[in-house]
Amino acid sequence: MIEKPIKKSIEEPTGDRGYLLTEQANPDSQNLDRLSTLEIVELFNREDAKAVAAVGQEKEAIAQAITLIAEAITKGGRLFYVGAGTSGRLGVLDAAECPPTFCSDPELIQGILAGGMNAMVKSSEALEDHEDDGAMAIAERNICDRDVVFGITAGGTTPYVHGALRAATQRGAKTVFFCCVPPEQFPVQYDIEIRPLVGAEILAGSTRLKAGTATKLVLNTISTGVMVQLGKVYGNRMIDVAVTNSKLEDRAIRIICDLTSISREESQTLLKKSGKSVKLALLMYWKKVDVATGTQVLQDSQANLTKALQL
């Protein structure tokens, strides 16, 4: 059971945000404009390592989020990433990558971006200040108590994100909050907080850098971890890969080859018989069953191959 943090009031700053960690100047890059190109690359490499370390410090909260989201989806819920600017785009990107990687329903994990899909390629930064728009986005998607809403805001203060999270809370949904500032700079009252403290950016205030890197690392870990929990991975293979092009068909064939030790030609035939389902092909091979039987067994085991093999 996840314990809720002590409730504290949230007041988005309307003036000077210079006290936020993400807005401060980095002393290690104060001569950035005088560095050689190699020195710039070396500086970025050192600073990026800090982002990786900061994510590691949040491992327990990230693990809690994976468990919370996987349980919600198992019970018929969905995951919604909400953000503006870089944060929102990264949420949309992670959501979009799940169906081809894990053959998941596109409705299962969705990205909500301030300004809509047009903001993916054209900056709409002013829209992040509209708290009501965030709440409206939640209402439009009929978010309910089975769902999880994951708010992403590098500096922690984005009104659009808090509007969405508050509306989600009112509807009974679980909430996860991601930012790169410490609790004392911006306290919140959501179910889980993930706060990788990456420090000041190389380019002061440009949170598409280390904060963006940390965001991508966390989202990669969470979405993949959730899919592992849902049985869409066997060993370290993406057995629910959507075979939609030649590259992915080749990957599917190689997965079957590697896990069964049969020839590429036999693997290709087996994949075709299974309707291009790697998971079903493996079950058919290992349990010597036909398509109909294998499909029924997978259905009875909630599409989890490990459980299906035990049946």
Single out the catalytic residue among 71, 97, 249, 266: 97
Name the residue with tokens 């809720």: 4
Specify whether the CB–CB gap between 61 and 192 falls below 8 A.
yes
E strands, the chain, are 79-83, 109-113, 148-152, 174-178, 192-194
Specify whether the CB–CB gap between 68 and 191 falls below 8 A.
yes
Whether 128 sits among the annotated catalytic residues: the reply is: yes
Closest C-alpha to 65, from 112, 113, 5, 2: 2
Single out the catalytic residue among 47, 58, 128, 193: 128
Please give the helix or strand (H or E) that residue 44 lies within, else none. helix 37-56
Closest C-alpha to 74, from 227, 278, 238: 227
**Whole-number Å distance between alpha carbons of 68 and 24:** 33
Q: Is 237 helix (H, G, I), strand (E, B) or coil?
A: strand
**Whole-number Å distance between alpha carbons of 294 and 283:** 6
Tokens of 195: 């706060």
Q: Is 80 helix (H, G, I), strand (E, B) or coil?
A: strand
**Whole-number Å distance between alpha carbons of 67 and 237:** 21
Closest C-alpha to 162, from 184, 186, 134, 183: 134
**Whole-number Å distance between alpha carbons of 168 and 151:** 10
Q: Which residues are catalytic?
A: 97, 128
